[in-house]
Amino acid sequence: MKSKSILEMLQVQLGERSYPIYIGEKLLQRSDLWCNWVEKKQVLICTNTTVAPLYASALTQTLKDAGAQQVNQVDLPDGESFKDWPTLQRILDALLQTQCDRRTIVVALGGGVIGDMAGFAASAFMRGIDFIQVPTTLLSQVDSSVGGKTGINHPLGKNMIGAFYQPKAVFADISTLNTLPDRELSCGLAEIIKHGAIADRDYLEWVEQNMALFFQRDQAALTQVVRRSCEIKAKVVSLDEKESNIRAILNFGHTFGHAIEAAMGYGEWLHGEAVGCGMVIATRLCQKIGRLSDADCALIHKIIVDAKLPVLPPPIGLNRFMNLMRVDKKNQEGVIRYVLLNGIGQASTSPVDEDLVRQVLIESGVPSHLE
């Protein structure tokens, strides 16, 4: 058993589907934690070609030390552009080729793309086998690894094909953030800013004050921010697991952001970059309809800039932007529903007059003359 490190734990409360989130340093080496999940089981590590050389070998040894019966691995190409059917097929191929069964557990080692695809494959293989999230990016640690959303992209819409399928556990190893490029760190900060904007003003202000520490990879600051964001998301998920109501507020900025991702081609803009820009547009919309003060709008804009996220949209024509937003899971009967802030820390969903949205998009830098 490896030496123990500082560990925090919180619980996603979903009745019989409840599960723990472990947060701390060097969790990939904690065989004492892993034995509860993998002892006497066959394991398939699903990772990508960027993460595998960094962490797959160490995790494989830990799983063996924890009593795993057999550990296999499938390495996928890295990037949002590979979050598709052919890449999903490679996970299913690996499960079949290594003769996995219903007791097999899939371990998703990587960022949000790996977590989404590995979880979706686990939900479909033999009609559902267990999986564990091991997020290695800030974005996946604070957001995508928690809540059970799994799936792939379609050329016409992001995350439109998938399933709600909860992991058995989440291991958020803060140490993996030491190798994370600044651009990826900024993407995680987008989701952190979102959590503060929709649920906790004090948290958002704390994030603003500690921004420099995140880029310095300060382990204590990162542990604190991962824990608080997970607390916020876990609470919302426990109230609305399948996004029939309140959970939709977790998509603040995403309606605009997903349109940017789809228009540019998945991977050209990273998810967090698109969400950051989407939140700028969304706050301007909230300001325009009188729900958000000028000061609060300016605060959110400043924090997004401080996080080194883009605030100007790419050159997508206005009509195309609107059409892409119509392919969104929150929409009902063809009506686009936006996540709106009623002041920082309070969010709800509502339709907005289309002419007003078009005006805000133009004011945000979306060109009206392009198709």
Active-site residue, from 25, 184, 191, 261: 191
| Digit-coded pLDDT (tens) for 6-18 | 689 999 999 999 9
Is 228 noted as a catalytic residue in this protein? no
Active-site residue, from 83, 149, 228, 330: 149
How confident is the model at residue 2, as a pLDDT?
A: 43
The whole-model pTM stands at: 0.93
Residues 132-148: what's their mean pLDDT?
Answer: 97
pLDDT of 82 higher than 90? yes
pLDDT of 1 higher than 60? no
Mean pLDDT of the chain: 94
Active-site residue, from 26, 83, 195, 258: 258
pLDDT of 177 higher than 90? yes
How confident is the model at residue 20, as a pLDDT?
A: 97
Location of structure tokens 């050209």: 268
Active-site residue, from 195, 254, 284, 291: 254
pLDDT band at 3; cut points 50, 70, 90: very low
Cβ distance 30 to 58 under 8 Å? no
Residues 205-233: what's their mean pLDDT?
Answer: 97
Is 254 noted as a catalytic residue in this protein? yes
Q: What angle do CA 124, 127, 130 make, to 5 degrees?
A: 80
Is 127 noted as a catalytic residue in this protein? yes
| Digit-coded pLDDT (tens) for 255-308 | 999 999 989 988 899 999 999 999 999 999 999 999 999 999 999 999 999 999
- Helices vs. strands in the chain: H and E counts, helices first: 14, 11
Is 258 noted as a catalytic residue in this protein? yes
Is 149 noted as a catalytic residue in this protein? yes
Question: Residue 48 corresponds to which tokens in the numbers above?
Answer: 């990508």
Active-site residue, from 247, 284, 330, 337: 247
How confident is the model at residue 357, as a pLDDT?
A: 97
- Distances in whole angstroms, Cα of residue 85 to Cα of each of 44, 121, 161: 19, 11, 10
pLDDT band at 329; cut points 50, 70, 90: low
Residues 333-351: what's their mean pLDDT?
Answer: 92
Report how far residue 35's alpha carbon sits from residue 162's, in angstroms, rounded to the nearest whole number. Answer: 29
Number of other residues whose CB lies within 10 A of the CB of residue 6: 12
Is 301 noted as a catalytic residue in this protein? no
Active-site residue, from 41, 251, 261, 291: 251
Report how far residue 218's alpha carbon sits from residue 174's, in angstroms, rounded to the nearest whole number. Answer: 10
Of the spans 122-136, 150-164, 322-336, which averages the highest pLDDT?
122-136
Active-site residue, from 16, 40, 127, 371: 127
Report how far residue 239's alpha carbon sits from residue 173's, in angstroms, rounded to the nearest whole number. Answer: 26
